[in-house]
Amino acid sequence: MPFIKTDSSISEINSYKENKGTKYPLFIARVQAGFPSPGDDYIEKNLDLNELLIKNPSATFFVKVEGDSMVNAGINSGDTLVVDRAVEAKDKSVVIAHINGELTVKRIRLSEGRVFLNPENEEFRPIEVTEETDFDIWGVVTYVIHKV
């Protein structure tokens, strides 16, 4: 099989280690993109990031992205992806795929019995998965974590 350069490879894989107990304040008010409201300083409840981001702890892992083939999906080089192996991949899911010996992040497209791994950057071409392709889906991306 030829090596397929996809330019959004996975540079690091980390498993999820449950650490309950850390909760952060969640405010009732929504954040204004314009002029802020001075009366919106009430805390609604505490937010546990584990509860928010991790639905299936034993099937969840994290990956670091390297490359820019998914920038139009809001996935940038250096981002951390939350990946759930228990979620079934369907048409248009963003997945971590193992293809011909390489891990990559792409949007899966199912069309007329054919499978494609599509980049979200017009500078890159879709990859068609054929019978000859060594291909497996490692999980579905559920969240993207990046610094602003």
The catalytic site residues sit at 69, 106
Helix (H, G, I), strand (E, B) or coil at 50: helix
Burial of 51 (0-12, 13-18, 19+ CB in 10 A): exposed
Separation of alpha carbons 137 and 88, rounded Å: 10
| Consecutive H or E run containing 15 | strand 8-15
Separation of alpha carbons 98 and 92, rounded Å: 17
With contact defined as beta carbons under 8 Å apart, do 108 and 126 qualify?
A: no
What's the first-to-final CA gap in the chain, in angstroms? 39
Extract the tokens encoding 79: 């981002």
